[in-house]
Amino acid sequence: MKSVKVKAHANIALIKYWGKKDEKLFLPFNSSLSLTLDAFYTITDVKVIDGKSDVFYLDGKIQDEEETSKISKFIDRFRKLSNKDFCVRIDSKNHFPTAAGLASSASGFAALAGALNEIYETRLDKKHLSIMARKGSGSATRSLFGGFVEWKKGHDDLSSFAEKFDDANWDIGMIIVILNDKKKKVLSRAGMKQTVETCPFYPAWVEDAKKDLEDIKVAIKEQDLDKVGEIAEYSAMKMHATMMATRPSIIYMQPKSLEVINMVKELRHQGLSCYVTMDAGPNVKIITSSRFKDEIIDKLKNIIDKDKIIYSKVGTDLEILERVI
Ligand code: DP6
């Protein structure tokens, strides 16, 4: 029986993607750049089945019709491209330490796209696979690659894709501080739509993101942790400012998030290289290196449970773990 097993890592944007120009095709208003994380990944098993509809298991639980039909629409793209109409059973498992509350859609859709490419024998290269993953979830387009990854916004379906910018073969990593592992109230998809539609600062966000991207690329090539961190923190705070200035306002930060942010600023004053980034939720990610991580984690333990603090090194490319075709 045909089956494939694929692994893809999560990624955290340093220059954020926030807002779609084309909601159907998932074309973003601005290009973004991320760091792939080693400690967080999805493993997806796909098997050919006899039935007339796809079957979808997520973390061991069979998914309802609504969730399965979303995934089936994604699989339809591969069926169409390959001219093969068989159905599949999908078993997707998120290997995130504790219930991390981090978006698993990026690694999830990247792993699924990678697996479907094998099972339907569509033979898409990484660029075209990234185009496919994008149409599952925007941030998934970046999870096909390890290291630092750039998603070039493009202007149409075929020109909007991700590629590796740099291997990140130096000492950089992230401390993930989990403050909430519940499903978020305003999902990023709805949140970014509301921002595009109602935030008066949104055009400034798009314009400014261009410079941030250029600057961070220089900083990455110089392997300058402080510059990379400073620009990433700036991008994240600007994104949150646009969210807050919508109608009604979207506030993802919680009191604990602010406590962590202030602690990071204080540690920076004391000479430690550490910077924050945040996504569509209260969790805080601290950009730092193995040199500073233990001292930062020790301080964090005064205000956060130690099992909610995870250090991650840089993750690698999408990997085909097994292939029986
Ligand atoms: C804040 O990729 O989850 O994490 O494209 O609608 O699926 P959809 O949204 P998603 O948005 C991610 C937003 C972000 C920033 C980022 O990852 O760049």
The whole-angstrom separation of Cα 322 and Cα 90 is: 14
Q: Is the CB of 139 under 6 A from ligand 1?
A: yes
CA of 20 from ligand 1 middle (Å) equals 10
- Residue ranges and CATH numbers for the domains of the chain are 3-169+315-324 (3.30.230.10), 173-311 (3.30.70.890)
Q: Is the CB of 162 under 6 A from ligand 1?
A: no
Residue among 139, 152, 239, 279 to mutate when testing ligand 1 (max atoms within 8 A of CB): 139
CA of 46 from ligand 1 middle (Å) equals 25
User: H or E element: which one contains 175?
Assistant: strand 173-177
Please give the structure tokens belonging to residue 52: 């007339």
Q: Is the CB of 137 under 6 A from ligand 1?
A: yes
The whole-angstrom separation of Cα 92 and Cα 41 is: 11
The whole-angstrom separation of Cα 106 and Cα 143 is: 6
Model pTM score: 0.97
CA of 177 from ligand 1 middle (Å) equals 19
Q: Contact, 128 vs 141, CB < 8 A?
A: no
Backbone angles phi, psi at 277, to 5 degrees: -140, 150
Please report, in tens digits, the pLDDT of each residue of the chain (325 residues total): 899 999 999 999 999 999 999 999 999 999 999 999 999 999 999 999 999 999 999 999 999 999 999 999 999 999 999 999 999 999 999 998 654 557 689 999 999 999 999 999 999 999 999 999 999 999 999 999 999 999 999 999 999 999 999 999 999 999 999 998 776 667 899 999 999 999 999 999 999 999 999 999 999 999 999 999 999 999 999 999 999 999 999 999 999 999 999 999 999 999 999 999 999 999 999 999 999 999 999 999 999 999 999 999 999 999 999 999 8
Give the residue among 40, 2, 33, 132 at the shortest CA–CA distance from 77: 132
**CA 39 to each of CA 10, 46, 80, 153: distance values in angstroms, whole numbers, following the listed order:** 8, 23, 34, 27
CA of 292 from ligand 1 middle (Å) equals 29
